[in-house]
Structure 1
Amino acid sequence: MSDILATVRARLDEHFAGVGISAEPVAASVTFLGAESIDVLRYGPDRDGVYHYVSLGCSRHAMADPTDMMADPTTGPRAEVVLALRGPTPTGLARSIAVVAAAPAVEGLVLGADALVDLETPLWDPVLPPGRSAPAPRRTPFTAVLLGVSDIGDVELAAPLESVTVLSATPITATEAAWVRLKGAEAMREAWRVDGVDVLNPARPAAQPR
């Protein structure tokens, strides 16, 4: 593990220990053709039954717009993403988080607060309601994530490197993604607040913004 990733990992361990999660996280590694692997660490559950899934690998390189000929590949912004969900880990979630985290290296995407990352495919396999094993439920509607500011502080790196920002990633539906494109990220969050939407529920219905 590079010094940067080791520093980020130490900060993550410190943060989650501070909220009562002291157990070693479960780790999954995802590899993409032509790109370095991305680890996804699962911390939790916390006292509310929430698991926190954090990428580790996006921050090994600075992000830069591929069309920006003056971008500094050393001192540009760096990021990781954290996605929180209540209950058992949905199948396929780790890979989706890794896809988001690998987007800067694979697609030249610069991750930042209020950015919408649309995978255009379900983020995880369908979640069965409690006590139900068949028939298969409807396909999960979540196909994108809305990035925001997480409660994990920035990870300071040795100068001249910029700090690593850990961005929250909230799963959203195709309908909600369209709303974000039309009205903006904060309008979507306000609609969730007004409607009492629990964004930590992997089986929640899609919000119906007005």
Structure 2
Amino acid sequence: MGDDVLTLVEARLASTFGEPAGRAAVTFLGTERIEVLRFTESAADGSALVRYATLGMSYRPMNDPLAAVADPVRGPRAELVLTVKGGRDEVLRPLAVLAASPQVEGLVVAPGASLDIGEPLWPDAPFSAVLVAEPGGLVEDLELDAPADPVRFLPLLPMTANEAAYKRVHGAASLQERWLRHGTDLRDPARRTVPLDD
């Protein structure tokens, strides 16, 4: 089923963002191949908006690492989407690492979760962690034949170290409310930490 799922996922991404402008593949020992597709469009201010979407994370469902037997069909499936003004192609490998984490570490990636790669998302980036946002806004869920769960396309919102610390204490909703209140452009690769003490 896995290859058929990825064919459908790529078609959904292409119908949403257009044909990919580039792609890169990363393989980790003992895991399925993860690709990262690059889509380019123009933002409202005329700058280039680059969307990076993983392809391969949904090959198999994410299973609870404590489960005695991994279900090959049922369980949440997802791909990750990161949007960066101007693009930062050095983010391809970190994104692939995050997409491989369910296979490598047994993680179930869900909205509200924090993912930290332990190093900048790209050279000199002020972010090493991302907040997993709610799906459906950028790319519609991809329904699969029952009993398989749909593939959800999870946006990633880069967090500075201070924002990640704030989120751990106060929760994802509180951090997102601050971003909204201050009009934070989460696609800006050089943005500063949102005010956290007002």
d(CA) in 1 for partners of 2:68 and 2:15?
37
Task: State the shift of 1:91 in Å.
Answer: 4.4
The answer to whether the 8 Å contact 1:91/1:125 transfers is no
CA distance in structure 2 between the aligned counterparts of 1:23 and 1:168, rounded to whole angstroms: 19
2:154 alignment partner in structure 1: 167
Contact 2:62 2:77 in 1 (8 A): yes
1:69 and 2:68 equivalent? yes
After TM superposition, give the deviation of residue 208 of structure 1 in Å. 2.9
Cross-structure match for 1:37: 33
Structure 1 residue 23: deviation in Å? 4.0
> Does 1:145 pair with 2:130?
yes
Code of the aligned partner of 1:184? G
Greater Cα shift, 57-66 or 156-165: 156-165
Residue 51 (structure 1) shift: 1.0
Q: Deviations over 1:143-195 (max 9, x none)?
A: 10100124211111122211100000011111111111111111111111122
Distance 1:33 1:92 in 2: 21
Structure 2: gaps of 5 or more residues:
none
Identity among equivalent positions (%) equals 42
For residue 70 of structure 1, report the CA deviation from its aligned partner. 6.1
Shift in Å, 1:71: 5.4
CA-atom RMSD in angstroms:
1.6
CA distances 1:87-145 after superposition (whole Å, capped 9, x unpaired):
1x32420111111111100100001111111112111112xxxxxxxxxxxxx220101
Residue of structure 2 equivalent to 1:94: 92
Equivalent residue, structure 2, for 1:195: 182
2:42 partner SS:
coil
Partner residue, 1:131: none
Q: In the TM superposition, what are the counterparts of 1:84-163 in structure 2 within 5 Å?
A: 84-87=83-86, 89-126=87-124, 140-150=125-135, 151=137, 152-163=139-150
Cα distance, 1:42–1:70 mapped onto 2, change above 3 Å: same
TM-score relative to the length of structure 1: 0.85
Tell me: CA distance 1:23–1:69, structure 2 relative to 1, closer, same or farther (3 Å).
Answer: closer
What amino acid maps onto 1:105 in structure 2? Q
Q: Sort the Cα spacing of 1:91 and 1:154 in 2 relative to 1 into closer, same or farther, 3 A.
A: closer
- Which range moves more in the overlay, 149-158 or 197-206? 149-158
Measure how far apart 1:25 and its partner are: 3.1
Q: CA deviation at 1:47?
A: 4.0
Local SS of the residue matching 1:205: coil
Q: Which residue of 2 aligns with 1:83?
A: 82
- CA change 1:9–1:96 in 2 (3 A) is same
1:207 is matched with which residue? Answer: 194
**How many angstroms does 1:59 deviate by?**
0.1
SS at match of 1:149: coil
- Asked whether the 8 Å contact 1:52–1:83 carries over to 2, the reply is yes
1:46 lines up with 2:42 in the alignment: yes
TM-score normalized with structure 2 length: 0.90
Alignment of 1:173-184 (within 5 A): 173-184=160-171
